[in-house]
Amino acid sequence: MGKDYQRPSLDMPSNFTAPAAGTSPSSNTASFASNPAAGTADAAVVEYADSNSIADIPWRQFFPDTALVHLLETGLQYNNDLLIASRRLDIAEAQLKRAKWAQTPDLQLSVTGAINRPSDNSLNGLSAKSFLGKSYIENYNAMVGISWEADIWGKISRQQEAVRASYFATAEGRKAVQTRLIADIAEGYFNLLMLDAQLTITKKNLVLNEDFLQASRLLKTAGIVTELAVQQAVARRDATALLVPSLEQQVGLQENALSVLTGKLPGRINRTGKLRDEVFPELSTGLPASMVQRRPDVQAAEFQLAAANAKVGVARAAFYPALNITAGVGLETFTASNWFNIPASLFGLAAGSLTQPLLQRKTVVTNYTVAQLERETAVLEFRQSVLKAVGEVQDALVRTTKLKEQERFAQSQADTLRVAETNARQLFKSDMATYLEVLIAQENALQAELYLAIVQRSRLTAVVELYRALGGGWN
């Protein structure tokens, strides 16, 4: 009863796309100057038509950092959200096993013994005295009975189909929790590496600030600069020193957050890699149609839709009569001594019944209407999950492409400003640059290096998000 499940039509792109990477600042400027519209609607686009996908790479191979892999293994073993999802899967599996027995006959064994002392003035009392010669009636019964509902309208099979689909939806839901957990741990780890890098950068700059302060004091003693130059150098050093406890605080908070994610008490996180050394496999997305099969949350939504479709069949079958068949065989006697006197004590029965709802018909109609509406809702939820998944992949592609460009320019800027800072200090010691030029150069170099670490972290987390968005992380 009811239609078999078929996947609804989906509006899917043929390939994933992302804006093409630029070449150099000068070429981009020249292109925009000659054609301002080229920077908007006519921007070059790269299509990803490769059938392979980074999501097919097992997570242990995708992440090259051994310390990160250890963190991920710990999280998958102890994270409470994932353990809860696993218990829900165990419950769904038990429900599936129970549903498999729904079409099997129900076999029952019953043994009863009864004594009834009727009134002497009742018909039973007079009959007992007349036929049995005693004032009470005994009855002993042992029976094996069987009952079975014939699945003539497919109601039971549809119920089993709904439970089976719900089980697979729960299994995919657990995978979705795992992929999100892996992404969260990896992103937290890369954020920790960024904070480590920024702390190292800040401490190195603090040494340079101290060196400049000492040089300023020597030049003041020589009468070349004023006390103002020394005061500015002190302020610059203190401003850099202020970043150290702030970054150390952020490191501690990030370590605590990662510990909780891995199911452990807050504590120190071991890490061996450096931010600039983290390298991922070459990026490939595969086709959007394959992503639908890979994404656990999309698959969970589709299985929920299949379950809702099966429940429509169950509700439809309720309009028709249910056929129940019962049968039994056993031993019955009115004296215990003759209970097992075979074949005299043998008895048997067989019956069939058709049950058709009458007064509850409005309830049946309402249940069917609700089931249809729930199926329509599940269709919309499935389509929305696909749309969201495609959007997440596209967003991650844009971020990875453009952050790679940003990293290249940020690296160039940091290198240039570091050289400029070194030159400014040397010129200052030779009285060929002012203290303000040195302070500005130091501030610019520090901010450029700190920003470079942020961009490097952002690019790594964008790759992790792309991996998750494509459905990677559960295998």
Q: Is residue 249 part of a domain?
A: yes
pLDDT at 27: 47
Which of 79, 468, 454 is CA-nearest to residue 257? 79
151 pLDDT higher than 90: no
User: Are residues 264 and 191 located together in one domain of the fold?
Assistant: yes
80 pLDDT higher than 60: yes
Q: Is residue 449 part of a domain?
A: yes
- For residues 281 and 52, the answer to whether their CB atoms sit within 8 Å is no
- CATH number for the domain that contains residue 200: 1.20.1600.10
User: Are residues 273 and 380 located together in one domain of the fold?
Assistant: yes
Vertex 238: Cα angle to 235 and 241 (nearest 5): 155
| Between residues 44 and 156, the one the model is more confident about | 156
User: Are residues 111 and 211 located together in one domain of the fold?
Assistant: no
pLDDT at 21: 66
pLDDT tens figures, 377-424: 999 999 999 999 999 999 999 999 999 999 999 999 999 999 999 999
Between the alpha carbon of residue 363 and those of residues 319, 335, 368, 374, the distances in Å are 10, 49, 9, 16
pLDDT tens figures, 223-251: 888 899 999 999 999 999 999 999 999 99
- CATH number for the domain that contains residue 136: 2.20.200.10
User: Are residues 128 and 257 located together in one domain of the fold?
Assistant: no
Q: Is residue 474 part of a domain?
A: no
pLDDT tens figures, 210-221: 999 998 999 899
122-131 average pLDDT score? 71
Number of domains in the chain: 2
* DSSP annotation of 20: P
User: Are residues 380 and 247 located together in one domain of the fold?
Assistant: yes
Q: Is residue 370 part of a domain?
A: yes
pLDDT at 34: 42
β-pair type (16-19, 45-48): antiparallel
User: Are residues 167 and 305 located together in one domain of the fold?
Assistant: yes
Average confidence score pLDDT of the chain? 87
Q: What is the pLDDT confidence band of residue 456, given thresholds at 50, 70 and 90?
A: very high
Q: Which of 16-25, 115-124, 267-276 has the lowest mean pLDDT?
A: 16-25
Structural domain range at position 458: 20-103+153-321+361-469
Q: Provide the percentage of residues in the chain whose pLDDT is more than 90.
A: 54
Q: What is the pLDDT confidence band of residue 262, given thresholds at 50, 70 and 90?
A: very high
**Backbone φ/ψ region at 181: left (φ over 0), alpha (ψ -120 to 50), beta:** alpha
pLDDT at 32: 35
User: Are residues 247 and 136 located together in one domain of the fold?
Assistant: no
Q: Is residue 3 part of a domain?
A: no
pLDDT at 104: 78
Question: What pTM, to 2 d.p., does this model score?
Answer: 0.84
pLDDT at 374: 96
Q: Is residue 6 part of a domain?
A: no
375 pLDDT higher than 60: yes
User: Are residues 192 and 208 located together in one domain of the fold?
Assistant: yes
pLDDT at 45: 63
First vs last C-alpha separation in the chain: 37
What is the Cα 202 distance to its own chain's centre?
37
User: Are residues 347 and 411 located together in one domain of the fold?
Assistant: no
Vertex 201: Cα angle to 66 and 403 (nearest 5): 65
Give me the amino acid identity at 446.
L
pLDDT tens figures, 14-63: 888 877 766 445 444 444 344 444 444 445 666 665 668 889 999 999 99
Q: Is residue 404 part of a domain?
A: yes
User: Are residues 217 and 70 located together in one domain of the fold?
Assistant: yes
465 pLDDT higher than 50: yes
pLDDT at 102: 72
pLDDT at 91: 94
User: Are residues 251 and 333 located together in one domain of the fold?
Assistant: no
- Hey, CA dihedral for 98, 95, 164, 9, is it positive or negative? positive
Q: Is residue 456 part of a domain?
A: yes
Q: Which of 180-189, 345-354, 460-469 has the lowest mean pLDDT?
A: 345-354
pLDDT at 38: 42
340-369 average pLDDT score? 84
User: Are residues 265 and 194 located together in one domain of the fold?
Assistant: yes
d(CA 216, CA 234): 10
The torsion defined by the Cα of 443, 446, 451 and 452, in degrees rounded to 10, comes to 140
